[in-house]
Amino acid sequence: MSYLVSSIYFIWVTIVCIIFFPISLVICIITKPFDRRLVALNYFSHFWGSLFLWSNPYWSMQVSGREKIDKSRPYVIVSNHLSTVDVVVISGLFVHFKWVSKIENFKIPFLGWSMHLNNYVAIRRGGISSIKSMIKHSKRHLDNGSSIFIFPEGSRSDDGKIQSFKTGAFKIAKEMNVAIVPIALTGTEKALQKNSLMFKGHQNITMSVLDIIEPSEYQELSLKQLTKLAQQRITDSLESNKEY
């Protein structure tokens, strides 16, 4: 049964992507002259991602702390990274931001093309020049009033445990003097396990927006201390959820 549902679901995902990309293109063409940050397109992309969550009979999601985010402010948003499902879940925030993502994702038909339309930030792993370009691109978005979203672990966790955070996201935040929004995700590693396209029973996913780290809170901290603070805040939330 799960094999049948999984097969039907991914056929549905493919159909949605084929239909929604041309709509994204039209939205971009119509709104870009007066919406330089592509806010309208970004919210449509969030709807696109959230539709994959809403239409999956095996997934349910609970969100807490959404009200902590002031949509009029740009942030550096970070979270732990457990699964490809994380991207779908984060879309459910319905907050305007630009993804920072590995360059390979921009080559995926329809989804990757939409990432280009949204002017998301690409990074090539292991390339110093690409990292510098990513930082420059991210700063430009923040300067224009758009938040950016980065998975500071850099890649998905293999065992569900949080990995050490890289400093890039926090370097950008410090240099731009913007607040950091830490987010804790749980359940996505079970919703779709690594190297699998099979769903295994109902999974409850949680997304917790934690207390925002304001510039006034980290001004006296070093880059490493700030990175550790954000990671600890997410780790503490994950441990608290386990106990609960």
Query: How close are the terminal C-alpha atoms of the chain, in Å?
Result: 32
Kindly report, residue by residue over 155-205, the tens digit of the pLDDT.
Answer: 776 666 788 999 999 999 999 999 999 999 998 888 776 666 667 767 899
Residue 27 sits in a domain whose CATH number is 3.40.1130.10
Amino acid at 15: I
Q: What is the pLDDT of residue 195?
A: 64
Domain count, the chain: 1
Q: What is the pLDDT of residue 131?
A: 85
Is 244 a residue whose pLDDT tops 80? no
Q: How far is CA 66 from CA 5, 76, 122, in A?
A: 31, 15, 26
Kindly report, residue by residue over 8-57, the tens digit of the pLDDT.
Answer: 889 999 999 999 999 999 999 999 999 999 999 999 999 999 999 999 98
| Tokens matching residue 189 | 């590693």
The conformational region for residue 119 under phi > 0 = left, psi -120 to 50 = alpha, else beta, is: left
Q: What is the pLDDT of residue 221?
A: 94
Mean local confidence (pLDDT), 114-123: 95
Q: Which residues partner with 150 through β-bridges?
A: 78
Q: What is the pLDDT of residue 154?
A: 77
Q: What is the pLDDT of residue 158?
A: 65
Contacts 24+ apart (CB under 8 A), 226-229: 226/170, 226/173, 226/174, 226/180, 227/152, 227/165, 227/166, 227/167, 227/170, 228/165
Choose among 181, 187, 186, 160: nearest CA to 233: 181
Determine the structural domain holding residue 125 and report its residue range. 2-243
Mean local confidence (pLDDT), 210-217: 96
Q: What is the pLDDT of residue 105?
A: 92
Q: How far is CA 195 from CA 69, 121, 144, 156, 217, in A?
A: 34, 25, 38, 12, 40
More confident position, 242 or 80: 80
Residues 12, 7: Cα–Cα separation, whole Å: 9
Kindly report, residue by residue over 58-91, the tens digit of the pLDDT.
Answer: 899 999 999 999 999 999 999 999 888 999 999 9
Q: What is the pLDDT of residue 108?
A: 94
